[in-house]
Amino acid sequence: MDTLFYYSGFYLSLIMFLPLYRAIFGPTVVDRLIGVNAIGSKTTVLLILIGLIYGRVDMFVDIALAYALLNFIAVLAASRYFHKKKGLYEESAD
């Protein structure tokens, strides 16, 4: 069972590269915000999986809860901040 958790954590961290692409190359700022939000929601699960692997779930659950809180607050603050800058990030190209 531990091997299964190990490999699913590994798979989860591999999957995190797809939103990372969106967070780095996203055409607009809000696209990057979506990427960061998706990475954060995966990290919450990954933290608990790490806790299972190390056998310290009770400690890592608190860290995961704090991370979920931080993810939410960060997305709210960033979107409240960026919506003032009108016209700064119109999509380029066509």
Partner 1 sequence: MNILVILLLFGGLFFFTGGSIGILRFPDFYTRLHPAGKLDTAGQFLTMSAISLYIMQDFTLHTFLTATKIVLIVIFVYLTSPTATHAIMDAGVRAGLKPWTKAGRHDLAD
Binding site for partner 1 (CB under 8 A): 1, 4, 8, 11-12, 15-16, 18-19, 21-22, 26, 28, 30-31, 33-35, 37-38, 41-42, 44-45, 48-49, 52, 57-58, 61-62, 64-65, 68-69, 72, 75-76, 79-80, 82-83, 85-91, 94
| Residue 23, number of CB atoms within 10 A of its CB | 18
Smallest gap from residue 16 Cβ to partner 1 (A) = 8
Contacts of 44 (CB under 8 A, 6+ apart): 64, 67, 68, 71
As to burial, measured by CB atoms within 10 angstroms (0-12 exposed, 13-18 middle, 19+ buried), residue 76 is exposed
Considering only CA atoms, which of 94, 93, 74, 84 is closest in space to residue 32?
Answer: 74
Smallest gap from residue 64 Cβ to partner 1 (A) = 6
Smallest gap from residue 73 Cβ to partner 1 (A) = 9
